[in-house]
Chains A and B, each alone.
Chain A
Amino acid sequence: MSRTLTFCCNEAVVWVKDAEQILVVDTQSQRHRALRDREAVIWELLAVGYPHEKLVQMLSLVFSLVPAEAERVLAEAVHRWCEEGLVCREVDGG
């Protein structure tokens, strides 16, 4: 069975969206981050529960990126958010 990476939003995190940005707030630590452009797209795709592979494909199509570049963009964003406690990493299968 192949391994499927899934990321999900931390349960303490809430967000609001306007025309310009998504404001993400960790209600426990009170830290917040404003997401724009690519980061906002990644956040929204992640928030509705797409697995890693699908996130890469969607980013590749939306931003006309080769898959490797889409993978890199995604990895950078998720790594940052994991460190900040905004998202959690889940591993299914294995």
Chain B
Amino acid sequence: MEPIDHHSHTDIFILPILSRFLLYAPLHGLAALVDLTAARQLRKRLASRDWDLTGPLGEVFRSLAEEREPAPLPRQGSFVPSFLGLLPTRGCNLGCRYCGFQTGTDGERVMSLDLARDAVTWYMDAVEQAGVQQAEVHFFGGEPFCAEEVLDLAVHLARRRATEIGCTLAFEVATNGVFDEARARWAADNLDTVVLSLDGPPDIQNRHRPYRGGQPSFEEVARTARVLSEGTSDLCIRACVTDETVERIPELAAWFCEQFRPGSICFEPLQPSPESEAAGLRPPDAWDFASQFIRAAPVLESHGVRPVHAAADIQTKRVTFCPVGRDAAIVSPDSTISACYLLQRDWEAKGLDLRLGRMEGASARLDSDAIASVRGLNVYNKPVCARCFCKYHCAGGCHVNHGPRGPQGGYDRLCIQTRIIAVRNVLAAMEQDDLVRAWVSQREVAEAAIGQPSDLLVDLEASA
């Protein structure tokens, strides 16, 4: 048997789960429960390159010795957009109490139809030249449907070009769902994925997400959700959770499934902002959020709905969590092409420059230094992630809003909830739901496991 490349030792992880240990090697496609004696034996064998093991432990060991999937790598080479993002407007018809976008300086600016045409034309030309088989156009905001002409134009134009080129095409939108029924039917007919922000039943939605004048928004958004439930687009409901609503996550999960037909539900903890603080809304405790999410997950799954906490998606292996570093090209109403859909002032406040270039007519002037710099924003340059079992799934999270830039193991609130939910997802995939429940019920024990500074098997003695 070929010896294991020493480098792969940094991709084999172990976490104590009550009296056992979860051995997890995502690049080997391996997850196993072992006891401490077996874990120590595996660690020693790996260190000494002694591959001769028999029995069930030998099977595990052979899996680790076999060739693994390559580690995901940052983008290299010429810039081929992974998708085109359009920001039709930063304006919005809601006044969500936690949203900082409404205070933007160019909130009312709308993308011109000429710019939308140029951006789509440039992107589809790039797709054709690169021989890409699947094109994607995503719409972000503000609220994209506040500039619905841009969506209509982009969808019809991109579709026409995709037919000419012979590639498939997918559209995705992130929306608040505040539009009329005809537009909801259009969305259901034309968009592949609709990420709909809906925080819950009227008492929650109307408190969190009223119109700008304070009027309730629930009825209109719920109508949109019902129309989308009848259509062919994949409906993902995104619900923002605060410390007031965290205990209700399982109840919300059941309610969403009874009222609508989403393909997935994404619970996200409130991202604190000056606006949320002024409104008295606070993020949930990480443990409370994760444990309630874990209670809600089987409720969703029993309805055939996928529970989503994006950073803990163990099916995905990546070096960056979001469009940043993936060569996404996101075009703003002022013609800027950037890697991120968040507000420029928010990146800049974190010392980041995520601009990639500008649209100039039907072509793009891209800055190769900027592209290289943005590609460098990946998990390999985040020391805090180096020994975390979740590093290829979460990849360090949002570059703008997730701040841990400290040493390895310096986990913050978002890291902790992601690590807890990712453990749940690994164990659930092993059909160890009882173990998950038992583990989560012993908070101090589980917290100790989640807080260990290194998950690497080679660091087992330090952890144990």
| Chain A residues with a Cβ under 8 A of chain B | 17, 41, 44-45, 47-50, 54, 57-58, 61-63
A-B contact count (CB 8 A): 38
| Chain B residues with a Cβ under 8 A of chain A | 113-114, 117, 148-149, 152-153, 156-157, 160, 182-183, 185-186, 189-190
Q: Across the interface, do A48 and B113 meet the contact criterion of CB distance under 8 Å?
A: no
Nearest Cβ on chain B to A8's Cβ, whole angstroms: 10
Beyond A17-B189, A48-B183, whether A54 also contacts B153 by CB under 8 A is no
Q: Given the complex, which residues of B lie within 8 Å of A62, measured CB to CB?
A: 153, 156-157, 160
Q: Across the interface, do A61 and B160 meet the contact criterion of CB distance under 8 Å?
A: no
Q: Could you write out 26 A-B pairs with CB less than 8 Å apart?
A: A17-B189, A44-B152, A44-B156, A44-B189, A44-B190, A45-B152, A47-B182, A47-B185, A47-B186, A48-B183, A49-B182, A50-B149, A50-B152, A58-B113, A58-B149, A58-B152, A58-B153, A58-B156, A61-B113, A61-B114, A61-B117, A61-B157, A62-B153, A62-B157, A62-B160, A63-B160
Query: How long is the Cα–Cα vector from A71 to B88 in the complex, in angstroms?
Result: 26
Query: How long is the Cα–Cα vector from A62 to B156 in the complex, in angstroms?
Result: 6
Q: Across the interface, do A54 and B149 meet the contact criterion of CB distance under 8 Å?
A: yes
- 5 closest A-B pairs (Cβ-Cβ)? A17-B189, A62-B156, A41-B156, A61-B117, A62-B157
Nearest Cβ on chain B to A69's Cβ, whole angstroms: 16
Q: Across the interface, do A48 and B160 meet the contact criterion of CB distance under 8 Å?
A: no
Q: Given the complex, which residues of B lie within 8 Å of A49, measured CB to CB?
A: 182
Q: Given the complex, which residues of B lie within 8 Å of A47, measured CB to CB?
A: 182, 185-186
Q: Across the interface, do B182 and A48 meet the contact criterion of CB distance under 8 Å?
A: yes
Query: How long is the Cα–Cα vector from A50 to B117 in the complex, in angstroms?
Result: 18
Q: Given the complex, which residues of B lie within 8 Å of A57, measured CB to CB?
A: 113
**Which residue of the partner chain A has the closest CB to B179?**
A48
Nearest Cβ on chain A to B165's Cβ, whole angstroms: 15
Residue in contact with A48 in the complex, picked from B117, B148, B153, B157, CB distance below 8 Å: B148
Residue in contact with B152 in the complex, picked from A17, A48, A63, CB distance below 8 Å: A48
Q: Given the complex, which residues of B lie within 8 Å of A48, measured CB to CB?
A: 148, 152, 182-183, 186
